[in-house]
């Protein structure tokens, strides 16, 4: 296998998984999803052993022998280095989702900007994102690497393949590492497009009817939704128009308030 390739599927031996993690780590670093020693990746090996990246190392410069193996309870089984405290988040997915064999965690700057601004990536803007991920919810803030973060994540894990972590970053899962990595790419790309659309004007959202058609077409695109079902749908144009969700910029809100105040004064 070339050092630049990363093939889908998980019928690989441990050395191939080690190489895959090094390749995906380098891709994430080169795309600016992580800097310094941020982020972590993992893959489920046979017998529920977890192969993961070490703490305090740049994820773009890893060698296969730097990786660590643990069990599902986070007990170290192999490797000279120490795993990240953020592995707890990965283990939660592996315990709750038998369909998940790989996790990517990163701090991609635009998506993390939404997470810092307290915003989910939940607008029904782009068909590919709706088909592939539905909406990307925002998980409330908890200190990274603590049981509190796992508790905050737990209600979302059965229902979503990609999550934003408030004031922190993003986490994606998949049946294999390539899929989990693509989901991280999709989050960041979607965040950039949402931001560009908001800078260019007001994003025009798809209707509930269009979203329903896309969700119904998932099997045609070989998309397997998370087994928990019940994921919330993205915010659509009709939901916005009905008044349930209205997004205003600060300037628009101030203009509305000014207008209301003016009308009120003119009546006196």
Shortest Cβ distance from residue 145 to Zn ion (Å)?
A: 8
Shortest Cβ distance from residue 40 to Zn ion (Å)?
A: 7
Measuring CA to CA, which residue among 41, 8, 3 is closest to residue 19? 3
- Classify the C-alpha dihedral 59-116-86-83 as positive or negative: positive
Residues 158-197 that bind Zn ion (CB under 5 A): 169
Nearer residue to Zn ion within complex by CB, 169 or 234: 169
Contact 107, 38 (CB under 8 A): yes
Among the listed residues 14, 38, 65, 86, the single catalytic one is 86
Shortest Cβ distance from residue 131 to Zn ion (Å)?
A: 28
- Cα separation of 245 and 147, whole Å? 32
Token pair, residue 95, equals 């315990």
Shortest Cβ distance from residue 155 to Zn ion (Å)?
A: 20
- Cα separation of 205 and 239, whole Å? 10
* Contact map string, positions 229 to 268, toward Zn ion, x by CB under 5 A: ----------------------------------------
- Cα separation of 88 and 144, whole Å? 9
Residue count (the chain): 268
Nearer residue to Zn ion within complex by CB, 169 or 175: 169
Nearer residue to Zn ion within complex by CB, 39 or 225: 39
Identify the DSSP state of 258.
H
Contact 208, 177 (CB under 8 A): no
Active-site residue, 244 included: no
Nearer residue to Zn ion within complex by CB, 108 or 169: 169
The residues of the shown chain that bind Zn ion, judged by CB under 5 A, are 169
Which residues belong to the active site? 86
């Amino acid at each position: 296998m070339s050092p630049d390739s990363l093939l889908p599927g998980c019928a690989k031996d441990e050395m191939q998984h080690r190489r895959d993690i090094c390749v995906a780590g380098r891709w994430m670093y080169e795309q600016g999803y992580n800097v310094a020693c941020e982020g972590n990746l993992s893959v489920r090996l046979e017998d529920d052993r977890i192969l993961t990246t070490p703490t305090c190392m740049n994820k773009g410069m890893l060698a296969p022998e730097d990786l660590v193996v643990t069990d599902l309870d986070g007990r170290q089984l192999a490797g000279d280095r120490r795993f990240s405290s953020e592995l707890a988040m990965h283990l939660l997915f592996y315990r709750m989702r038998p369909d998940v064999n790989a996790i990517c965690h990163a701090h991609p700057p635009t998506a993390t900007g939404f997470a810092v601004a307290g915003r989910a990536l939940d607008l029904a803007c782009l068909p590919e994102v709706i088909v592939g991920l539905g909406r990307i919810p925002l998980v409330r803030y908890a200190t990274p690497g603590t049981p509190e973060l796992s508790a905050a994540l737990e209600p979302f894990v059965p229902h979503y393949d990609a999550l934003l972590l408030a004031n922190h970053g993003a986490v994606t899962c998949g049946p294999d590492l390539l899929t989990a990595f693509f989901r991280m790419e999709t989050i960041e790309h979607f965040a950039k497009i949402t931001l560009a659309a908001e800078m260019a004007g007001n994003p025009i959202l798809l209707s509930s009817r269009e979203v329903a058609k896309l969700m119904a077409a998932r099997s045609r695109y070989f998309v397997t939704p998370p087994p928990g079902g019940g994921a919330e749908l993205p915010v659509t144009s009709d939901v916005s128009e009905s008044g349930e969700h209205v997004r205003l910029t600060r300037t628009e809100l101030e203009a509305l308030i000014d207008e209301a105040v003016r009308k009120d004064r003119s009546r006196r």
